[in-house]
């Protein structure tokens, strides 16, 4: 645990509404060691972004952290004062958003945005910051970086812009990067390049990465471990190879069977019947039980076992290999 | 940039020609100045002589052309009522209107932007909520009512400020200003507030809603995720993006300040071109009315031109071809 850059313990996020309290993240725990990539998968609305935003301290009101702990390099950060948390953002935690077209301020040259970030976090002079900004662009593979440093975002293509965003996220050399679906908005042809770039940079620097994605294929290629989320809960967590080859939770099994890459042997892709429940209408006990092909009586009465407590991989009483 | 400016200027000229035509022909067919100028005891010969003298017997296109030719040289003919050159009369009255409009515009822009940004950043604070509620009064009360209420309160009840006129003026030769005397400044306060209040609330509400919209954008989230200070996020990243949509509307609002001045000048008997216009309507003083309309449209078009160019200067995305390199 000492080597973990990020350690999330039993995280709970709540959204108080007028007459109820929604809970988009509930009892989520995971660790990311230095230099490793944790893939986070799950259907849209599963709470992946909420988890990432909670870690970097950017939950939009009224959502807030209502329980659990977040540790970064041995420092507890979920209860830090606002100003201390701000200093940490960009410096120790970098973030890459989904859409590079909207992530950059259209009215400021990219060099300006790089320099302001570097000057904010690092003890450097203005000329040094300018040199670093160019170096940061070179590192992410922007050709003729010195010349393009004063270009505006609209003068770059989508893929190039996402490179700029990555340069911005990494320019103060954070120890953790949260990438929330960094390729979803990009052309298929550049998706692989961006993922490879992210992976290379983080491996070189020993940065821990929380990579949120829909794409099992991306996870298979890049991640060391994978967390599967369903309706705000973690249902499976384990090393990528094991989870991909021997999924334990019925939901993960369904997810794998519906992924082209993992389902190579099958004639046609499977589909999990039904849809993920809305947060204001969660089923009792295990949230997945109404859709679960292996459902048993216990599932509608008792929530699945706690991943942490049972030391297991899947939050399911009847998980494969759980030996029920 | 040059091509853009030329194109815009050309468009502006066309707009002015059309406005000139509409204004001129509208007045040409509204009322008959000859009726007013000659008293009850007139003969057919008198009427004919006056018509010829005023050029009213000539064909319409000829009249319009003469009007334009004069207008370009700043010559709008002779006032039917005062028998003096219209340009001279307007030049006398214009400083009063421009000073009033400028002070109102400055009030509207400074307070509009300031309060707009404030209420957007402190969106749930009690101060912001109070300001927003009060601003509803500003947009919903008609100008003349605001003027009358202010007069009632500050002139009649409190007796702090004059209720009409411009106070003492200082003649600078080509410009008579009320800004250099105490009574001139005092006289300016109420009309300026009356004229600027509506524009101020409008600008404020617009700035606020645009700023709130900008603060929801991804690049603001990303700026926060990069750990920038809130002050930097608000004033460096958000404000500049807010300006772009706001500038157009603000520009138009400033143009309409000069037009709205008619009402304020009437309420406060402010000796500007607006009041002059109102008085000439009663007398069907066509040259003055036409000159006034042309003046207002020149100002509108000029402001629009400046706004377009400003827009262009602020938004790099409009600089087509300034850098063709694509990544
Ligand atoms: N302001 C809000 N009010 C109510 N529900 C919200 C709000 N914001 C997000 N949610 C819900 O929180 C859940 C988690 O969202 P999110 O973390 O964005 O999912 P994803 O896994 O797709 O990134 C979703 O079901 C979403 O509907
Ligand atoms: Mg998401």
* Local mean pLDDT, 10-residue blocks, chain A (324 residues): 81 91 91 93 91 94 92 92 93 92 93 95 94 93 92 92 94 94 86 90 92 88 91 90 85 80 60 80 81 79 73 74 46
Query: How do residues B213-240 score in pLDDT, each as one tens digit?
Result: 999 999 999 999 999 999 999 999 999 8
What Å distances lie between residue B279 and A168, B88, B106, CA to CA?
64, 16, 28
DSSP, residue by residue, B83-95: -SBHHHHHHHHHH
Asked whether the beta carbons of B241 and B235 are under 8 A apart, the reply is no
**pLDDT surpasses 60 at B38:** yes
Asked whether the beta carbons of B169 and B184 are under 8 A apart, the reply is yes
Asked whether the beta carbons of A92 and A174 are under 8 A apart, the reply is yes
- Cβ–ligand 1 distance for A19 under 6 Å, the answer no
- Is the four-CA dihedral B86, B87, B91, B96 of positive or negative sign? positive
B226 contacts in A (CB within 8 Å)? 89-90, 94-95, 113, 117, 120, 168-169
What Å distances lie between residue A50 and A23, A47, A69, CA to CA?
10, 5, 15
Distance from residue A24's CA to the centre of ligand 1 (Å): 6
| Separation between Cα atoms, residue A144 and residue A305, nearest integer Å | 54
| Lookup: tokens for B252 | 């138009």
pTM of the model: 0.80
Please choose, from the candidates B229, B196, B183, the residue with its C-alpha nearest in 3D space to the C-alpha of residue B110: B196
CB atoms within 10 A of CB A114: 25
Q: What is the pLDDT of residue A57?
A: 93
- Cβ–ligand 1 distance for A22 under 6 Å, the answer yes
For ligand 1, atom 17: residue with the closest CA? A47
Asked whether the beta carbons of A5 and A72 are under 8 A apart, the reply is yes
In A17-163, the DSSP E strands lie at 21-33, 37-41, 64-72, 75-76, 93-96
Asked whether the beta carbons of B237 and A104 are under 8 A apart, the reply is no
Please choose, from the candidates A88, A36, A52, the residue with its C-alpha nearest in 3D space to the C-alpha of residue A205: A36
- Return the SS3 of A234: strand
Asked whether the beta carbons of A232 and A190 are under 8 A apart, the reply is no
Distance from residue A60's CA to the centre of ligand 2 (Å): 13
Query: How do residues A212-246 score in pLDDT, each as one tens digit?
Result: 998 888 898 899 999 999 988 898 898 998 888 88
What Å distances lie between residue A149 and A104, A136, A146, A153, A173, CA to CA?
14, 10, 6, 10, 19
Asked whether the beta carbons of B135 and B201 are under 8 A apart, the reply is yes
Q: What is the pLDDT of residue A263?
A: 54
Q: How confident is the model at residue B22 (pLDDT cuts 50, 70, 90)?
A: confident
- Is the four-CA dihedral B223, B225, B227, B231 of positive or negative sign? positive
Q: Does B225 touch chain A (CB under 8 A)?
A: yes
Strand partners, A96: A179
Distance from residue B230's CA to the centre of ligand 2 (Å): 24
Chain Cα centroid distance, residue B284: 23
Q: Count of residues for chain A?
A: 324
Q: Does B226 touch chain A (CB under 8 A)?
A: yes
| Lookup: tokens for B167 | 């106070």
Contact A95 B222 (CB under 8 A): yes
Contact B241 A116 (CB under 8 A): no
* C-alpha distance across the termini of chain B, in Å: 24
Q: Does B323 touch chain A (CB under 8 A)?
A: yes
| Lookup: tokens for A211 | 């990579």
Q: What is the dihedral of CA A258, A263, A269, A271, to 10 degrees?
A: -30
pLDDT, average across residues B66-75: 81
| Separation between Cα atoms, residue A117 and residue A107, nearest integer Å | 16
- Cβ–ligand 1 distance for A279 under 6 Å, the answer yes
Q: Does B314 touch chain A (CB under 8 A)?
A: yes
| Lookup: tokens for A144 | 């003729």
ipTM score of complex: 0.89
Question: Domains in chain B, please, with CATH?
Answer: 93-272 (1.10.3720.10)
């Amino acid at each position: 645990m000492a080597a973990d850059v990020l350690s999330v313990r039993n995280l709970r996020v709540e959204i108080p509404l007028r007459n109820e309290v929604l809970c988009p993240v509930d009892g989520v725990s995971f660790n990311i060691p230095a230099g490793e990539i944790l893939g986070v998968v799950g259907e849209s609305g599963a709470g992946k972004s909420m988890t990432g935003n909670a870690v970097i301290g950017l939950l939009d009101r009224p959502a807030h952290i209502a329980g659990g702990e977040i540790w970064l390099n041995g420092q507890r950060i979920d209860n830090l004062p606002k100003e201390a948390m701000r200093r940490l953002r960009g410096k120790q935690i970098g973030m890459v958003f989904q859409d590079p077209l909207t992530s950059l301020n259209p009215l400021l040259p990219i060099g300006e945005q790089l320099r302001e970030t570097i000057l904010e976090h690092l003890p450097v002079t203005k000329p040094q910051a300018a040199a670093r900004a160019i170096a940061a662009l070179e590192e992410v593979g922007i050709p003729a970086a010195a010349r393009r440093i004063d270009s505006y975002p609209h003068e770059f293509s989508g893929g190039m812009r996402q490179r700029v965003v990555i340069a911005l996220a990494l320019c103060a050399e954070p120890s953790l990067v949260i990438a929330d679906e960094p390729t979803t908005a990009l052309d298929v042809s550049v998706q692989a390049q961006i993922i490879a770039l992210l992976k290379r940079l983080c491996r070189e620097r020993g940065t821990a990465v929380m990579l949120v994605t829909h794409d099992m294929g991306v996870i298979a290629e890049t991640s060391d471990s994978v967390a599967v989320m369903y309706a705000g809960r973690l249902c499976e967590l384990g090393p990528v190879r094991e989870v991909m080859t021997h999924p334990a939770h019925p939901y993960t099994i369904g997810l794998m069977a519906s992924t082209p890459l993992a389902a190579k042997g099958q004639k046609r892709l499977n589909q999990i019947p039904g849809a993920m429940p809305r947060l204001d209408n969660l089923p009792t006990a295990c949230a997945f039980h109404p859709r679960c092909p292996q459902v048993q009586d216990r599932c509608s009465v008792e929530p699945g076992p706690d991943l942490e407590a049972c030391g297991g991989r899947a939050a399911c009483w009847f998980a494969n290999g759980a030996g029920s | 940039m040059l091509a853009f400016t030329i194109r815009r200027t050309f468009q502006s000229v066309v707009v002015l020609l059309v406005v000139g035509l509409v204004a001129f022909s509208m007045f040409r067919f509204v009322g008959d100045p000859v009726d007013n100028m000659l008293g009850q005891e007139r003969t057919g010969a008198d009427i004919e002589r006056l018509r010829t003298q005023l050029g009213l017997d000539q064909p319409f296109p000829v009249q319009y052309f003469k009007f334009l030719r004069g207008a370009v040289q700043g010559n709008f003919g002779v006032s039917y009522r005062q028998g003096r050159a219209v340009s001279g009369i307007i030049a006398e009255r214009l400083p009063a209107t421009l000073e009033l409009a400028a002070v109102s515009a400055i009030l509207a822009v400074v307070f509009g932007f300031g309060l707009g940004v404030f209420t957007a950043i402190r969106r749930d604070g009690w101060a912001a909520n109070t300001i927003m509620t009060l601003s509803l009064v500003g947009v919903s009360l008609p100008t003349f009512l605001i003027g009358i209420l202010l007069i009632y309160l500050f002139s009649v009840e409190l007796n702090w400020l004059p209720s009409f006129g411009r106070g003492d003026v200082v003649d600078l030769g080509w410009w008579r200003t009320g800004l250099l005397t105490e009574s001139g400044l005092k006289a300016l306060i109420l009309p300026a507030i009356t004229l600027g209040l509506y524009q101020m609330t409008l600008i404020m509400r617009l700035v606020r809603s645009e700023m709130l919209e900008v603060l929801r954008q991804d690049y603001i989230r990303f700026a926060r995720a990069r750990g920038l200070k809130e002050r930097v996020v608000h004033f460096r990243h958000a404000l500049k993006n807010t300006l772009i949509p706001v500038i157009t509307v603000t520009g138009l609002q400033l143009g309409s300040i000069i037009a709205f001045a008619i009402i304020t000048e009437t309420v406060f008997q402010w000796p500007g071109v607006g009041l002059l216009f109102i008085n000439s309507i009663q007398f069907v003083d066509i040259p003055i009315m036409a000159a006034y309309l042309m003046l207002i449209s020149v100002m509108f078009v000029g402001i629009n031109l400046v706004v377009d160019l400003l827009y262009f200067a602020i938004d790099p995305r409009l600089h087509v071809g300034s850098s063709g390199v694509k990544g």
